[in-house]
Amino acid sequence: MDIFEKCAKFVEADEVKEQGLYPYFRPIASAEDTEVTIEGKRVLMFGSNNYLGLTVHPKVKEAAQKAIEKYGTGTCGSRFLNGTLEIHLELERKLADFMKKERALVFSTGYQTNLGTISAIAGKEDVIITDKWDHASIIDGTRLSFGEIRRFKHNDMNDLERVLKSIPDNKGKLIVVDGLFSMEGDIADLPGIVELAKKYGARVMVDDAHAIGVLGKNGRGTAEHYGLEDEVDLVMGTFSKSFASLGGFIAGKEYVINFIQHFARSLIFSASMPPANVAAVSAALDIIKNEPERRQKLWDNTKRMLDGLREMGYDTGLSETPVIPVIIGDDMKTFMFWRALLDNGVYVNPVISPAVPPGRQLLRISMMATHTDEQIDRALEVFEKLGKKFEVI
């Protein structure tokens, strides 16, 4: 049997392309700002994780340019060998201080951070417990580990306790959850998770990819949001959202990060973050710390969009954050609605199964601090018009 036979039989994408409804790998011909150029025309961007609008901030761009001038365009090696620059270590110190942890370690992507951390920590005698709606990088990290994998129903503390009760006391236990869930926009029940972790002797890791810069008085994420920073063992973050760059990090106790540094395969066998990315993150972190008004504006914008959609009758799921789902409930209808939005000057992200459960296919809106009231109102006008056309509202 030819191993490529399955490739030849994969025609679903081509069928959607023929209908003009294929939404993926669509090129953008401008910077990721509140408005972008797609297919030769300007459209409103409501599909970017650029929550604080820092991808075009002059200080962030200047820092990246200066780093290239000093260090060149890349490291051509892994952190383990020749790929550690002084600016990597400087960024790690800044992140550890910001996150109120003993130490931080940066990876080349957020995906690699979860792969490396989880697979390094969980051995043959350990159990990893995950929320069923956790991000794919968490799921893949558990698969690369030698640990046993157990899952609990989304944000269901009774089900989490059921799982924890069933694990023998002599097993190491690591609970890994998203802090802010990237599709529904809801927040993990971290108080409940921490309480059960203490009760059953488990450690807690929070993936705050979408929460750092967004949640908490100072933007430190889900643990700060709940006042539980001392109760969470590991916090993971990415640099491709609020930090407007590329990469990821894990923060925790010195001895734990030291272990991860020496056993995380995705760190040891990947080239390190390029200098421009490191410098951009460092500059973005300074802005996150020094300009809390950006975060407030993000939340003001979120409320304006959420209230507007809900008043029209849209189902916005469990959202309580700048990630706003518009539940459509059907694959093809989701694609058709997405295309109509784009034709009317609004870009969002269509999400279908298996990324979401069947019946919860959705259009994912991501708010930015730099959206203007006028831009939000324009988008709401389009949603109102199309919602009636597609009989969603």
* Residues identified as active-site: 182, 210, 241
Burial pattern 327-346, b for ≥16 Cβ within 10 A else e, equals: bbeeeebbbbbbbbbbebeb
Q: What are phi and psi of 345, to 5 degrees?
A: 90, 20
Contact 369, 52 (CB under 8 A): yes
The answer to whether the beta carbons of residues 74 and 267 sit under 8 Å apart is: no
Please give the structure tokens belonging to residue 356. 């979401």
CA angle 201, 206, 209 (to 5 degrees): 170
Q: Which two tokens stand for residue 132?
A: 């069923």
State whether residue 83 is helix, strand or coil: coil
Buried b (16+ CB within 10 A) or exposed e, 298-313: beebbebbbebbeeee
Residue 315 burial (CB count, 10 A): 15
Written as six digits, the tokens of 74 are: 């890349």
Q: Write out the H or E segment, with its range, that includes residue 92.
A: helix 86-99
Phi-psi region of 43 (alpha: psi -120 to 50; beta: other; left: phi over 0): beta
